[in-house]
Amino acid sequence: MVDERRYSIFDEKILRDELDALHANPVHIDSTWRFILAHKNAEAYDTPDLPLRVRTLFSTKFKTMTSYVHTQHDSLDGRTTKLLIKFQNGLSAEAVIIRHDSSAGKYAGGPRTGAARATLCVSSQVGCKMGCTFCATGTMGFKGNLSAGEIVEQLVHASQITSIRNVVFMGMGEPMNNYFAVVQAVKTMTGRCFQLSRKHITVSTVGIIPKIIALKADLPDVSLAISLHAPTQELRAEIVPAARSFPLSKLIAAVDAYLVGSKSTVFMEYVMLAAVNDGQEHAHQMGKLLNGRKVVVNLIPYNPTTVTMQFKASGSTEVLKFQKILKEVYGIRTTVRQEMGQDIDGACGQLHVSHLSNKPSRPNSTVLDIEDLGLIK
């Protein structure tokens, strides 16, 4: 059987190498991408003024899009849109658009275009092998890495719905376990065609220390988000199994190294789990752990899903007490993430693809850490 899979035209490294091999001008990369973005359903090989050999290359080795939006769900308030994207190998992942413009709360219909400050949460893998205990994606197991082109295509799909300013790698998967594709995708997103600012890109990790160090060199100025979730090694190892390989003391040392001479922000993500990590003693432990460091703590209300039943969400009183201790006792900048998209399972910790359906995916839903960096900078 012939494998008809072809490279994504947004797989920049492969595209550049193939053009080099033909001694073709790389200027065709940007002109082709701009043409595709400006003309929905256009084919790359139809880009005006392409030499014949480039046109032939595009039609034989590449696909204009290797993925499509299988389903789109809009939250009732119109602020969140979840896209279930199907790839040419049959696997699917989810991307979530979060709108933060001031009129968002007034909207009660379908998606709008032109929102001023939309954030896109992209997936870097299908499933995940890290097994964080509160995470719906972790229950899927690992199904596969996405290519750089497949990651960029999530931005292409989202850009056809609304204008995207921020991209966060907090969807399905551990980005550092697909490091080279993630780095390549960020370079493309921040290049001359898409023109996103590196300051508006955030890469999340459970704490893969060697890749945190590498990221600083490879993508200076992107923001880093650490899925911390516990203030001590013992508790963290229970919630985030990867902590057994990457202990908290070494992780904090890696964060310190990342911050030296860097203009980027480090976010500490902390999902609030009732009677597990939300006590005042935990807040003091966090305060002491992070004291004096230029980090932002992001407290995330836990989103219960039917695939991860073992935890309950902390009450708002506990969350606010926790925040108060960090801010007032330790002077640590601390935000409480807005809960958005719960009605479509597009909120943090809810991304989970167990099947393809035309119905809203609740309760078998999606995984994620949603962040609008614009709100807290």
Distance CA 245, CA 273 (A): 23
DSSP-derived secondary structure letter, 136:
T
Residue whose CB is less far from ligand SF4, 50 or 313: 313
Q: Closest approach of Cβ 244 to ligand SF4, in Å?
A: 13
Q: Are the C-beta atoms of 19 and 54 separated by less than 8 Å?
A: yes
Select from 341, 347, 270, 362 the least CA-distant residue to 303.
347
Select from 85, 86, 59, 63 the least CA-distant residue to 11.
63
Torsion sign over Cα 131, 133, 135, 140:
positive
By CB under 6 A, residue 124 contacts ligand SF4: no
- Select the span of 36-44, 123-131, 292-300, 352-360 touching ligand SF4 (CB under 6 A): 123-131
Q: Are the C-beta atoms of 170 and 202 separated by less than 8 Å?
A: yes
Catalytic residue among 135, 318, 348, 371: 348
By CB under 6 A, residue 137 contacts ligand SF4: yes
By CB under 6 A, residue 287 contacts ligand SF4: no
Q: Closest approach of Cβ 78 to ligand SF4, in Å?
A: 26
Binding mask 211-240 for ligand SF4 (x = CB under 6 A): ----------------x-------------
DSSP-derived secondary structure letter, 281:
H
For ligand SF4, the binding residue among 44, 130, 151, 268 (CB under 6 A) is 130
**Does residue 348 carry a catalytic annotation?**
yes
Residue whose CB is less far from ligand SF4, 135 or 326: 135
- Select the span of 15-23, 128-136, 193-201, 321-329 touching ligand SF4 (CB under 6 A): 128-136
Distance CA 200, CA 168 (A): 8
Coil, helix or strand for 145? strand
By CB under 6 A, residue 241 contacts ligand SF4: no
Coil, helix or strand for 33? helix
Select from 6, 74, 5, 64 the least CA-distant residue to 32.
64
- Select the span of 40-48, 106-114, 171-179, 256-264 touching ligand SF4 (CB under 6 A): 171-179
**Does residue 94 carry a catalytic annotation?**
yes
Interface with ligand SF4 (CB under 6 A), residue total 13
What would the two tokens of residue 377 be? 């900078």
Q: What are phi and psi of 154, to 5 degrees?
A: -60, -40
DSSP-derived secondary structure letter, 106:
G
Q: Closest approach of Cβ 6 to ligand SF4, in Å?
A: 28
If you search the block for the tokens 């850490």, which residue do you land on?
Answer: 369
For ligand SF4, the binding residue among 185, 196, 206, 300 (CB under 6 A) is 206
Q: Closest approach of Cβ 187 to ligand SF4, in Å?
A: 22
- Select the span of 169-177, 211-219, 259-267, 319-327 touching ligand SF4 (CB under 6 A): 169-177
By CB under 6 A, residue 128 contacts ligand SF4: yes
Distance CA 171, CA 367 (A): 6
By CB under 6 A, residue 138 contacts ligand SF4: yes
For 14, other C-beta atoms within 10 Å of its C-beta total 18
For ligand SF4, the binding residue among 65, 297, 348, 367 (CB under 6 A) is 367
By CB under 6 A, residue 247 contacts ligand SF4: no
**What value, to the nearest 5°, has the Cα angle with vertex 241 and ends 240 and 245?**
115
Residues serving a catalytic function are 94, 348
What residue ranges bind ligand SF4 (CB under 6 A)?
Answer: 128, 130-132, 135, 137-138, 172-174, 206, 227, 367
